[in-house]
Structure 1
Amino acid sequence: MPDILVLNGPNLNLLGKREPEIYGSETLADVEAACRALNLGDLTFRQSNHEGQLVDWIQEARGTRDAIVINPGAYSHTSIAILDALNAFEGRVVEVHISNIHKREAFRHHSYVSARANAVIAGLGTEGYAAALRWLAR
């Protein structure tokens, strides 16, 4: 079973409360419970609104985790620091977006994280996390 770090960026702590017409009604706790129920690996879930904390967690995953599933939120479009940290990570990386970022505002169409990701899942709602885990388990 793979050892997977699941990271969530800014505002994902408000999942289920913030813009449910875009992000749905499930909370981050609901997402975690659904992912754990799949029993597809040793999962560690973390969320931070702080870019440096996400970078620290990515660096800590080096040599200890097989993969990272990351929903970087708005940092997708702005953070070269997260990209650099992911580039130093040896395992697989799956980028997840709950909404289809390509159908939203133009500034959301580019993701720095995508340059490192082995796979990108966008627009599947919170099911994107489960899809990422199923892909990594194969």
Structure 2
Amino acid sequence: MNLFVLLGKAEAKLETGDDPYFNEATELVTTILRTEEVLPYRRISLNGALHQLFSGIIVAAYEAETSIDVTSRHTATYHEYGFTTKAVGWLDKAVARGLLLSPYDDKAKGALTLGPLLTTYLDDLLA
């Protein structure tokens, strides 16, 4: 599913806050991404909502059992959708650390699938 469609779904779920599983899963993914140094610890109070939204995209893809389709790497596109331009770098770091799997070795392009670490933790959360 297109990254920006997932962005809209994640944003809507986080705004309503009525899905406790989604909120808990998003917190878990955010923690994993920070531990793996995909998301920075610095300025969490300023950028924490963006980190939650980024993690929400991953959780939305997991719930929909779909890939995260990155159709553009242009930062202007991310800005047009009202999302942080840092997302491209975060996606690349997630791919480099094996959290997201890309058909391209070192870049977040095309259909990204969740790696085994994220899948295992999210599966355990459901159990």
TM-score, normalised relative to structure 2: 0.29
TM-score normalised by length of structure 1: 0.28
**Between structures 1 and 2, the one with greater strand share:** 1
The answer to which structure has the higher helix fraction is: 2
